[in-house]
């Protein structure tokens, strides 16, 4: 049970700044997911935690120990790699026990007990006598988890542990990981570039881009109150629609439509830099350029959601994609294009015109230059969830 604290953590490789001043606290027993696009520094952060890379600057603390310069083996963390990193020539059991023997801190008996326990937990008892070659991807990953578990580390560090698995297996393993964490309660830092994984697994999610933390929040807050365009577009599939608008007296104005903005919240008063006027005061909020963000599932065919009132506008259907549980409709209105969800079995002809309505509770506005969110029409999340929010630029 460990709290991990990063203070102004930096890592430079020759010419690249991989991690650019992270401040973050991983709470004791928390399942923290780090998500971000490829190359944003997720793995580097994790490897810094593990001690596999040396920080260029900054500090890493585990509970009250400063471990910044500590050898990996002395940090008592266990890492699970994307490609499993099982020793190919050892049986499952040897793989699991190999690291334990190294420490020398376990008796044979204890090792046996722990392996049996872990195998039980992960349901890999049958696999213990096989070599990795004779295991499927999921089985390998489970053994790799087993190896991490038996050492009873202070923290688990996982680097995209599921991304080599196929979709079905990934979903299944996701559930197993959640359950495992519930059982063990070990502090876990989990890196992924898959936002679904981030959303479903994380108690809190760190979104990184370009070596910096963009937002740290529980999944749903991230989804509902993205701190900036990057987060808004990164989280959510299909991505949030972004439309250039002007804001005039509390109304988002576009050539082809006008969307009144409920007197909601100015976003993110902790946000540095974007000293935006609160839209709660409609007069102060006028500006000629803003970006309106609406998620596809918050746009609807007017005929499907009469309950949303008269706030509709017309758009042209470009393409439709059936997703099974819904129909994704690519539309254009004026010079803007957007996507929206429709009922799965709706029949819409490309080229036709549809009447579109929206959920006025789910509108977002972003600064066009900095990308900072300055308005969310929904009510802000409880502040307690947002304590760790760190803005890095």
Partner 1 sequence: MSTREIFDGRLEAALLLAPTAIVSLVFLYYPTALAFRTSFFDSGFGRVPEFVGLENYASLLGNPEYHSSVLLSVIFAAIVVVGVISVSLYLTFLIHEVDAGQGWYLISVIWPYALPPAVGALVFLFIFHPTLGVLTGPIEALGIELDWFNDGPQAFVVVALAAIWKQIGYNVIFMIAAMKNIPDALTETAELDGVGRLRRLVSVYVPIMTPTLFFLVIIDTIYAFFGTFAFVDLLTSGGPSNATNVLIFDLYREAFSFFNFGTASAKSVVLFLVVAALMAVQFRLTEEYSYYGA
Partner 2 sequence: MTGAIQYAKRRFESARAAIGAETGSETPESTTDLGAAGIHFQLWLLAGLVLFPILVTVVVSTKQQGIVTSLPDLLPGTYAVENYREAIVDYGFGRFMWNSLLMSVVIVVGKLVVSVLAAMAIVYYRVPYKDLVFLFVLFTLLLPVPVRFVPLFQLMNDLGWSNSLLAITVPYIASATTVFILRQHFLSIPTSIVETAKLDGVGPVKFTLQVLVPMSRGVLVGVSIIMFVYAWNQYLWPLVIIDSEANQVAQVGLQLLQGDVQGGQLSWSLVMAGSVLTLLPPLALMILFRKPLLETFAIQQK
Ligand X SMILES: Nc1ncnc2c1ncn2[C@@H]1O[C@H](COP(=O)(O)OP(=O)(O)OP(=O)(O)O)[C@@H](O)[C@H]1O
Which residues make up the interface to partner 2 (CB under 8 A)? 50-52, 71-74, 77-79, 81-90, 98-100, 102-103, 147, 151
Question: Which of 66, 74, 255, 314 touches partner 1 (CB under 8 A)?
Answer: 74
Q: Which does 194 bind (CB under 5 to 8 A by kind): a second copy, ligand X, Mg ion, none?
A: a second copy
Cβ-in-10-Å burial (0-12, 13-18, 19+) of 190 comes to buried
The residues near 93 (Cβ < 8 Å, ≥ 6 apart) are: 115, 128, 129
Q: Which does 16 bind (CB under 5 to 8 A by kind): Mg ion, ligand X, a second copy, none?
A: ligand X
Peptide bond into 261 cis (omega under 30): no
Contact call for residues 53 and 145 (beta carbons, < 8 A):
no
Q: State yes or no: residue 366 binds a second copy (CB under 8 A).
A: no
Q: State yes or no: residue 42 binds ligand X (CB under 6 A).
A: yes
Other C-beta atoms lying within 10 Å of the C-beta of residue 148 = 24
Name the residue nearer to partner 1 (CB basis): 189 or 354.
189
Minimum distance from CB of 191 to Mg ion (Å)?
Answer: 6
DSSP 38-52: TTSSHHHHHHHHHTS
Q: State yes or no: residue 72 binds partner 1 (CB under 8 A).
A: yes
Minimum distance from CB of 119 to partner 2 (Å)?
Answer: 18
> CA–CA separation, 279 vs 264, rounded Å?
7
Other C-beta atoms lying within 10 Å of the C-beta of residue 138 = 18
Q: Which does 102 bind (CB under 5 to 8 A by kind): partner 2, Mg ion, a second copy, none?
A: partner 2
Contact call for residues 44 and 51 (beta carbons, < 8 A):
no
Beta bridge partners of 192: 35
Q: x/- site string to ligand X, residues 175 to 194, per CB under 6 A? A: ------------------x-
Name the residue nearer to partner 1 (CB basis): 147 or 170.
147
Name the residue nearer to partner 1 (CB basis): 110 or 281.
110
List the one residue out of 352, 245, 345 whose CA is nearest residue 288. 245
Chain residues binding a second copy by CB under 8 A are 37-38, 166-168, 171, 175, 178, 193-196, 199-200, 218-220, 223-224, 234-239, 295, 297, 319, 321-325, 327-328, 344-345
């Amino acid at each position: 049970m460990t709290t991990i604290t990063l203070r102004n953590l930096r890592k430079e490789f020759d010419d690249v700044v991989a991690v650019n001043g992270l401040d973050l606290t991983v709470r004791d027993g928390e399942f923290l997911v780090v998500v971000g696009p490829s190359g944003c520094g997720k793995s580097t952060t994790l490897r810094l935690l593990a001690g596999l890379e040396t920080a260029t600057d900054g500090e890493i603390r585990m509970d009250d120990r400063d471990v910044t310069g500590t050898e990996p083996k002395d940090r008592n963390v266990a890492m699970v790699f994307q490609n499993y990193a099982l020793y190919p020539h050892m049986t499952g059991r040897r793989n699991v026990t190999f690291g334990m023997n190294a420490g020398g801190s376990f008796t044979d008996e204890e090792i046996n007990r722990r392996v049996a326990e872990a195998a039980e937990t992960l349901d890999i008892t049958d696999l213990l006598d096989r070599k990795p070659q004779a295991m499927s991807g999921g089985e390998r990953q489970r053994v790799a988890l087993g190896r991490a578990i038996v050492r009873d580390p202070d923290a688990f560090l996982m680097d995209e542990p599921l991304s080599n698995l196929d979709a079905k297996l990934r979903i299944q393993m996701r559930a197993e990981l959640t359950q495992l964490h519930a059982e063990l309660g070990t502090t876990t830092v989990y890196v992924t570039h898959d936002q679904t994984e981030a959303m479903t697994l994380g108690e809190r999610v760190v979104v990184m881009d370009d070596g910096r933390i963009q937002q740290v929040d529980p999944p749903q807050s991230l989804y509902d109150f993205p701190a900036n365009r990057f987060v808004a577009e990164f989280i959510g599939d299909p991505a949030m629609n972004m439309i250039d608008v002007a804001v005039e007296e509390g109304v988002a104005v576009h050539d082809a439509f006008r969307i009144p903005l409920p007197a909601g919240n100015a976003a993110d008063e902790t946000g540095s830099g974007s000293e935006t006027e609160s839209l709660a005061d409609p007069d102060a909020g006028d500006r000629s350029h803003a970006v309106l963000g609406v998620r596809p599932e918050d746009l609807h065919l007017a005929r499907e959601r009469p309950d949303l009132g008269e706030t509709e506008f017309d758009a042209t259907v470009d393409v439709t994609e059936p997703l099974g549980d819904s129909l994704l409709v690519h539309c254009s209105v004026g010079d803007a294009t957007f996507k929206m969800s429709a009922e799965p079995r709706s029949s819409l002809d490309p080229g036709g015109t549809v009447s579109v309505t929206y959920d006025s509770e789910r509108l977002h506005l972003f600064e066009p230059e900095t990308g900072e969110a300055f308005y969310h029409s929904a009510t802000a999340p409880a502040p307690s969830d947002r304590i760790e929010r760190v803005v890095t630029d």
